[in-house]
Amino acid sequence: MLGSLPNMKKRRTNLLTFLILLGLVLGALYGEFGLYQAGISIDGDHWLRAAGDLLLIRPLKLLVVPLIFFSVISGISRIGDPSKLGKVGGATLVYYLATMFMAVSLGAFLVTWISPGVLPAIVQEKLIGTAHVIGATQGATNELGSAWMNILYQLIPVNILDDMVKVQPLGIIVFAIAFGLALAAGGDKTKAARDICNACFEGLMILVRWIIWLTPIGVFFLVAWTVGKIGFESIVGPLGWYMTTVLVGLAIHGFLILPLVLFLFSWKNPFRFMWQMKRALMTAIGTDSSSATLPVTIDTAESEGGCSKRAANFVLPLGSTINMDGTALYEAVAVVFLFQLYGIELEFGQLIIVVITATLAAIGAAGIPSAGLVTMVIVISAVNMNLSGSASGPLPIAAIGIILGVDRILDMCRTAVNVWGDAVGAKIITKLAPDD
């Protein structure tokens, strides 16, 4: 009976993937032939968008703040007493932050360079309205210095509850990291608080899994609305280039950057190690979940990858929670792509906010399928705050619906990069601090 549980989970995942793709296809067909070709006018208040917003977008927004808060605390608090971690803990945390920062910076560079979301003005007018396009061409007026000060003020909130109410993400994430470290340092004195946070996180994960099953219906409504508004031909090209940008970024990070980091710090053949970890990587692709892959990752790293028990039992479990290279890169590409679609040109200071927020938000991304969609709301909200008062205006959160249909395909690839990044970290820590 127990042996059938993994197969049951895999069948559910495959079913969900099929239903999402079905929702994408049916939504595109209905939008193209039932609305756009039929000459039916579609506006921003159409019932299709409202239905997609109520079924998917609003529930995701509802869970963002508590999910990020408890996920980060839960992951950070598992490291144990920070004062006792020494070289192993310090090196692990530095590696996680450094590789995620490199991944998200690469994503921001590629999407800015390739510009997959830049559309002709006439298409943008259909998508978002003439007034918004005209405003967007003016660009943001924030200077780099003021952008940096805005970031610093958001990083250190005065009132964390006020930040939660206003959904100011940077301060929430930083506070959660600091509080998680404090709970870890408290030992037995703070065990009850850690248990409560872990229990809240697990409960939120159940809610996320329930909402994810609404994704096929939400995809149908939102894709039908988008295609019905601008036509299939206008959107298929940008989506194709968006997917290409994400996949190119993941390939560069997975096959060039992470292998180079591994070689420099361990002097081991990175591609031989990648081949040794193939069972875990294939499982990651199949499950779309770094958490579900964790048992296989630990076993493979020890038995085939030559990683120490210390590294496997500490680095990999922590990494499955807070180290998300693929997710961080994907979020940077997706967010900038959506801003491009809506004719909003992000300046350097705003791209910095994307990089920082996507890196921090990836720490709180749960190791479950499509969790990056939840934390993407955080990144968009952070950029929108910086755009407040500018001519460009904010990006509507419902814009996420444009990329929902192809997310599962990309999710498989970014999950594999997430697991590969964890494995590289375990191999490096094995070299720095082998078992006694």
Is residue 408 domain-resident?
yes
- The answer on pLDDT for 133 being more than 50 is no
- 296, 280 Cβ separation under 8 angstroms: yes
Return the axis-axis angle of helices 215-230 and 121-128, rounded to nearest 10°. 130
**pLDDT interval class at 34 (50, 70, 90):** confident
CA-based torsion, 233, 407, 97, 174: positive or negative = positive
| Rounded distance between C-alpha atoms, residue 416 and residue 101, angstroms | 18
- 104, 359 Cβ separation under 8 angstroms: yes
pLDDT of residue 367: 56
Is residue 1 domain-resident?
no
pLDDT tens-digit profile of 221-262? 877 877 787 677 666 678 788 889 999 999 999 999 999 999
Q: Indicate the pTM of the whole model.
A: 0.69
- The answer on pLDDT for 388 being more than 70 is no
**pLDDT interval class at 130 (50, 70, 90):** very low
pLDDT of residue 395: 78
CATH (domain of 329): 1.10.3860
| Rounded distance between C-alpha atoms, residue 27 and residue 37, angstroms | 14
- The answer on pLDDT for 386 being more than 50 is yes
153-154-157-162 Cα dihedral, nearest 10 degrees: 130
Is residue 236 domain-resident?
yes
- The answer on pLDDT for 144 being more than 50 is no
- When divided into structural domains, the chain yields a total of 1
Give residues with Cβ within 8 angstroms of 48, minimum separation 6.
Answer: 42, 221, 222, 224, 225, 228
- The answer on pLDDT for 120 being more than 70 is no
- 315, 422 Cβ separation under 8 angstroms: yes
Is residue 249 domain-resident?
yes
pLDDT of residue 70: 82
* 143-147, 209-213, 250-254, 421-425: least confident range: 143-147
- The answer on pLDDT for 333 being more than 80 is yes
Query: Per-residue pLDDT averaged across 306-325, rounded?
Result: 79
Max avg pLDDT among 54-63, 189-198, 316-325: 189-198
| Rounded distance between C-alpha atoms, residue 240 and residue 242, angstroms | 5
Is residue 349 domain-resident?
yes
Give residues with Cβ within 8 angstroms of 84, minimum separation 6.
Answer: none
Query: Per-residue pLDDT averaged across 327-353, rounded?
Result: 85
Is residue 2 domain-resident?
no
**pLDDT interval class at 142 (50, 70, 90):** very low
Is residue 260 domain-resident?
yes
| Residue whose tokens read 């692709």 | 285
Query: Per-residue pLDDT averaged across 185-200, rounded?
Result: 88
pLDDT tens-digit profile of 251-294? 999 999 999 999 998 888 999 999 999 888 887 876 667 766 77
Q: What percent of the chain has pLDDT over 90?
A: 13
* 6-20, 130-144, 341-355: least confident range: 130-144
Is residue 48 domain-resident?
yes
Q: How many CA atoms lie within 13 A of 333 on its CB side?
A: 31
pLDDT of residue 176: 82
Max avg pLDDT among 40-44, 196-200, 281-285: 196-200
Tell me which residue range forms the domain holding 14. 8-432
pLDDT of residue 355: 85
Average pLDDT, the chain: 77
pLDDT of residue 237: 74
**pLDDT interval class at 99 (50, 70, 90):** very high
